[in-house]
Structure 1
C-alpha cells in the first residue's frame, strides 16, 4: 500500500515541537533547581521577613519547591519570633507552610501568590509584663502614619488554615483564652475587593463555645481607612444553647485599634435581639453596646456557662463547704476588672432566679473594676421592681450590693414563682438593702445580709388561724385553740415592720399585725434554707389580755405553743388589781360617808 508523503513533514514537525517542549521544561526545571537551592531559599525568606517585620523567621525543617501540580514553596517546622524587646513565646510555629507562586508578576516587582496553606500551627498573641505584644509592629503602628500612601500590590489565591491553635495571653493578669481553628478558608485576597471567608472552630479549651460556623466578606483598603466586614453570619453552640450572630462592622487598625458592629442580630435559643457595639483598645479597653429584644432567660444562659473551678489547696484557705464563697471564680463578669463597659439593655421580658420581669430597662456601667446597674426597672407579676446595684470586682471575693424596691399590687402573685403564695397574700411595699460576697448563686446566698422594711395591707397569712385560736383561748379550751390555730387563714388589715438578714436567717423584730379581732406583735425568725420558724408573738383582743404564743416547726408545718400559764398569771394579776382597786374605792366611799355624817 502506498504511503502518503505529506504526513512525514507534519509528523516530523510535531516530534520536533514536542522535543523542544521537553527540552524547555527540563531546562526550566534544572534552572529552578540550581537557582532555588534550599539554603538560598531559606536565606531569601529570612531576609525578606526580617526586612518587612523586624522578626526572625526560623525554618528548622526542609524548605523546598514543589513543581506539580504547580510551583509551590513548602516549609516544614517553621517559627516566627516576636518583636524586639519582647519576652514571651514565639508569635508563630507551624508543622507545614505551603504557598504556590506566580512567577510572571515577580518580574514586575509585585508579589502574587497562589494558594496558601497552613497545617497544625500554634499562634500566640501574648502581652509580656512590660506591655509589649507579640503583634507589635506588624500593622505598622510604630511607623509614622502615611494616610495617603497605598500598600504594595499583594494578592493571593485561596488561603486555607487547618488544625490551628490561637492562644491569647497576658503575663500581667495571667489571663488566657484559646481559639481552636478547625478550618479557616479565605478566597483569593486582593486589596480593595470583597474577599469571602469561612471559619470553623471553637473558643476555649475545653470549649466554651463550640461548633462555630462563621461566614462573611472582608474588604482591606490599599490605603488608609478601616477594614470593612460585611454579610457576617455566625452559628455556634454555647454549652448546649444554640446561638447565632449576623451583621456588619469595621475595624480601624489604629493606634489605637477600634472596632464597631452595627445592624446586628443575636440569637440565643429561641430569642432574638438587635445589637450594636463599639470597641476601643487601650490600657483599659472600652466597649459601648446596646441590646434590644423580646426575651432573655438569664437562668438558662448562666446554666450554660462553665461552673467556677474549685479552690486548690495551694491557693490558701479551707476547701470545705464553709469557705466555698472564698473559692476563685470564673465568671465572665471578671473581665470587667481590666476593661470598661457602658451598655444599655431594653427587653420585653427577662427571666432571672425564677422571677419573670417585663418591660425591662437597665444600664450597666463598668469603670475601673466598679460595676453599677442603674436603673434596673421592670414590671413583674403582681407589681413592679425598681433597683440599683453595685459590684466591686477589685475586692476579693467581689462584693455585691443591691437596693430593690418592690411595689406590689398582688403579693401572692409576685411570690408565686417560688411557691410562697401559699403563705402570704396582700399588697404593699417591700424596700431592701442587700449585701453579699462572690458572683455565683451559692456564694451570694451563703453570704447574703441586709435590712429593710415592709408595709402590707388587706391580705392573709395562710396556715395560721389566730382569730379562731384566740376565740378558743377566751373560752379556756386550750386543746381546741391549738387545733384551730394550725391551718386556716388569718386575714389582716395591716402587716408592717422592719427586717434584717444575717447568717441565713430573716429576722422580723417588732412585727405588727392588725386583724378584725386582734392586735398582734412579736419577734419572728425564718431560716432561708429550710424555712424553719422560731420566735414569739403576743395576741391581744377585746375578750382576752395578751397571750404569748411560741412559733416552732417550719413555714410549711408550723407549730403554735400558747403560754397559757403566762396568760393566767396576767389574768390573775389583773383580777387582783381590779379587786384591790374596787376595795380601795369602797373604802374611800365609806370614809366620805362618815365625814358627811
Structure 2
C-alpha cells in the first residue's frame, strides 16, 4: 500500500510538472521568445521565428516552427544566412521538465543556406567557420534536411552558385567525432550531375586549427541527360583557417567504364592555387567536350582559361587512351599551367607509327591555336590509323599549327610543313599496274581546308619520280588531284588522279604559252 501511494504521488508530480510546462510553453509568443533567445546565444546570430509555432507534448515532446530566419552576424544584420520554411525538433523530456530546451532530432524542410559570403565584410562569412559555429548547437543530435538550397561563392559576389539538395542525413552529430553523413541532390543550374549520392564519415573539429574531413567518401551520380555514371571515392579535407584549403587524397574516379587515380589540392588567398593529378583510364575528348559545351554553353578550353585567370593552376593528366572520335592516341600526357598570357597547354602522346607533341596558350578568347610537332617512325601505320590506304611509306617529321574557334572560319584549320625520308610511293603510271616507287626525300607544305587536305607545294628527291608539284585529296570521296613536274633538263608534266586507294600518274602536255615560257626560262639560264 505504501509503495502504491509513493508511486501515485510521483506520477502526480510528473503530470503536474508536464501540465505546468505545457501551460508555459503553449503561450506561443513566450515560447518564440525563449527559443529565439536560446538559439541566438548558441549560434551567435539573431534567430527569428516569423511564422506559426506548434508544440505537442504527447506521445513525446515535439516543436514545429514555420518561416525561421537566422541573420548574419556583426555589421551584416540585413543579410539572412539561413531561411527555412519548416523546422521541427524532438525535445528531451527531462530537460523540458527543468524548463530547458534540448533538441534530439532536428528536421529542416525548404531551407536556403547562404554560404556565399556575398556582402561579407569580415572573416565571419567563412563557410567552414559558419558551419562550425552552427555545428555547436547540434552536439549529440541527429539532423535531417529535405529540399535545401545552398548558396556557394560564385564568379561574381552578387551571383552565387546554387547547390540543390534533396536530402541530407546526419546521425547523432558531435564535434570532434566522425558521424555518418548522407547526401542526395543535383549539382549545377542547369544540372551537370543528376541524382548525386554522397556518403561518408563526417568529422567537424571544434578547433579552427584542424580541418573538416569527409572520410571513406563514396560519391555517385549520372551526367545530366545521359546514362553515363560518375563515381568517386577518397578522403576530403577542408580547412576553415584563412586562407581556405581543400584537398582530395587517395582519390579514385570512374566515368562510365573508365577509372582514374586522382589527387587534388586547393589553397586560397589573394592568388589561389590548385594542383590536380589524374592518371589512368580512357577518355573520349570530343564526346566529353561536347557534353560540357552543351551543359555549360561554353567550350571547356574557355572554362579552363577563365579559371586560370583567377587561380594558379598546375595539373597533370595522364590517360592510357585519349580518343578524338574514331581516332585515339595512347600514353597521353596533358599538362596545364597558368601563364601570364593565359593557360599553358602541353600534350604528348603515342599514335600508331609515331609520337605527337603539342603546345600552346589558351587565352579564353574565341580563337585558339596549338603548335604541333609530329615524329613519324612509320608513315604507313599513320595512314592505317586514319583508315587510309598505305600508299606512302617512310619516316620523318612535321611541324604544324592547329587552330580553331575563329569567327566565321572553319571548325578547325591545320597547316605547316612535313619531311619524309627513305620512303616509297605506291602508284600506277599511265595504264600500267600500280607499283612501289622509292624516293630519297619527300617534303613540302601541308594545309587542311574544309573537305580537303592539300599539299600546295611538294618536292620529291631521288628516284624516277623526282620533281616538284602540288596535290590535294577530297576527304569525303578520297579522290586525288594534282601535278608533278619531273626534274631534269627537259622536265615533263604529269597529272595526278585516281583515288587514295588507286593513285595514278599520266603525262600532261602543257599549253603552248606555258611551253614558250619554259623555253624562255631555259634560254635565260643557258644564255642561248
* Alpha carbons of structure 1 residues 41 and 434: separation in structure 2 relative to 1, 3 Å: same
SS at match of 2:173: coil
Structure 2 counterpart of 1:373: 345
From 237, 241, 244, give the equivalent of 1:250: 237
From 172, 187, 203, give the equivalent of 2:171: 187
Structure 1 counterpart of 2:468: 521
Structure 2 counterpart of 1:564: 509
Structure 2 counterpart of 1:358: 330
SS at match of 1:305: helix
The answer as to 2:373 corresponding to 1:409 is: no
Structure 2 counterpart of 1:219: 203
Structure 2 counterpart of 1:349: 321
| Partners of 2:355 and 2:374 within 8 A in 1 | yes
| Partners of 1:53 and 1:138 within 8 A in 2 | no
Task: Quote the Cα distance in structure 2 between the aligned partners of 1:80 and 1:127.
Answer: 15
| Partners of 1:458 and 1:491 within 8 A in 2 | no
1:383: Cα distance to partner? 1.1
Task: Quote the Cα distance in structure 2 between the aligned partners of 1:259 and 1:31.
Answer: 47
Structure 2 counterpart of 1:454: 418
From 495, 498, 523, give the equivalent of 2:445: 498
Task: Quote the Cα distance in structure 1 between the aligned partners of 2:97 and 2:315.
Answer: 54
Task: Quote the Cα distance in structure 2 between the aligned partners of 1:251 and 1:70.
Answer: 38
| Partners of 2:401 and 2:415 within 8 A in 1 | yes
* Alpha carbons of structure 1 residues 515 and 178: separation in structure 2 relative to 1, 3 Å: farther
Structure 2 counterpart of 1:91: 81
The answer as to 2:359 corresponding to 1:391 is: no
| Partners of 1:209 and 1:236 within 8 A in 2 | yes
Deviates more, 1:255-264 or 1:18-27: 18-27
SS at match of 1:495: strand
| Partners of 2:18 and 2:97 within 8 A in 1 | no
1:552: Cα distance to partner? 7.6
Deviations for 1:423-463, whole angstroms, at most 9, x for unmatched residues? 5443211111333337xxxx89825446421011344556x
Deviations for 1:25-59, whole angstroms, at most 9, x for unmatched residues? 25423323324632223223434455555644342
Task: Quote the Cα distance in structure 1 between the aligned partners of 2:408 and 2:202.
Answer: 45
Task: Quote the Cα distance in structure 1 between the aligned partners of 2:211 and 2:247.
Answer: 10
Task: Quote the Cα distance in structure 1 between the aligned partners of 2:123 and 2:36.
Answer: 18
Show the 5 A alignment for 1:533-548.
536-540=482-486, 545-547=491-493
* Alpha carbons of structure 1 residues 490 and 301: separation in structure 2 relative to 1, 3 Å: same
1:532: Cα distance to partner? 7.5
Q: Which runs of 5+ in 1 are unaligned?
A: 1-8, 144-150, 311-327, 470-479, 585-597
1:97: Cα distance to partner? 0.8
1:197: Cα distance to partner? 0.9
1:506: Cα distance to partner? 5.1
Structure 2 counterpart of 1:116: 106
Show the 5 A alignment for 1:132-171.
136=125, 140=129, 155-168=139-152, 170=154
1:509: Cα distance to partner? 3.2
| Partners of 2:86 and 2:110 within 8 A in 1 | yes
* Alpha carbons of structure 1 residues 275 and 69: separation in structure 2 relative to 1, 3 Å: farther
Task: Quote the Cα distance in structure 1 between the aligned partners of 2:23 and 2:100.
Answer: 22
The answer as to 2:221 corresponding to 1:231 is: no
TM-score by length of 2: 0.81
Show the 5 A alignment for 1:292-371.
292-305=279-292, 307=294, 329=299, 332-333=303-304, 334-367=306-339, 370-371=342-343
| Partners of 1:112 and 1:155 within 8 A in 2 | no
SS at match of 1:419: coil
Deviations for 1:200-240, whole angstroms, at most 9, x for unmatched residues? 22212332112222211122223342223211112222242
| Partners of 2:51 and 2:67 within 8 A in 1 | yes
1:262: Cα distance to partner? 1.1
SS at match of 1:454: strand
* Alpha carbons of structure 1 residues 554 and 76: separation in structure 2 relative to 1, 3 Å: farther
SS at match of 2:104: strand
1:267: Cα distance to partner? 1.7
Deviations for 1:385-407, whole angstroms, at most 9, x for unmatched residues? 222232112x3x2x423122111
1:135: Cα distance to partner? 7.1
Structure 1 counterpart of 2:29: 39
SS at match of 1:30: helix
Task: Quote the Cα distance in structure 1 between the aligned partners of 2:172 and 2:80.
Answer: 28
* Alpha carbons of structure 1 residues 139 and 427: separation in structure 2 relative to 1, 3 Å: closer
Greater strand percent: which structure?
2
TM-score by length of 1: 0.73
Task: Quote the Cα distance in structure 2 between the aligned partners of 1:174 and 1:406.
Answer: 47
| Partners of 1:123 and 1:165 within 8 A in 2 | yes
Deviations for 1:171-193, whole angstroms, at most 9, x for unmatched residues? 72775543222221111011222
* Alpha carbons of structure 1 residues 110 and 377: separation in structure 2 relative to 1, 3 Å: farther
Q: Which runs of 5+ in 2 are unaligned?
A: none
RMSD: 4.3
Structure 2 counterpart of 1:172: 156
Deviates more, 1:28-37 or 1:80-89: 80-89
* Alpha carbons of structure 1 residues 226 and 85: separation in structure 2 relative to 1, 3 Å: same
SS at match of 1:420: coil
The answer as to 2:272 corresponding to 1:285 is: yes
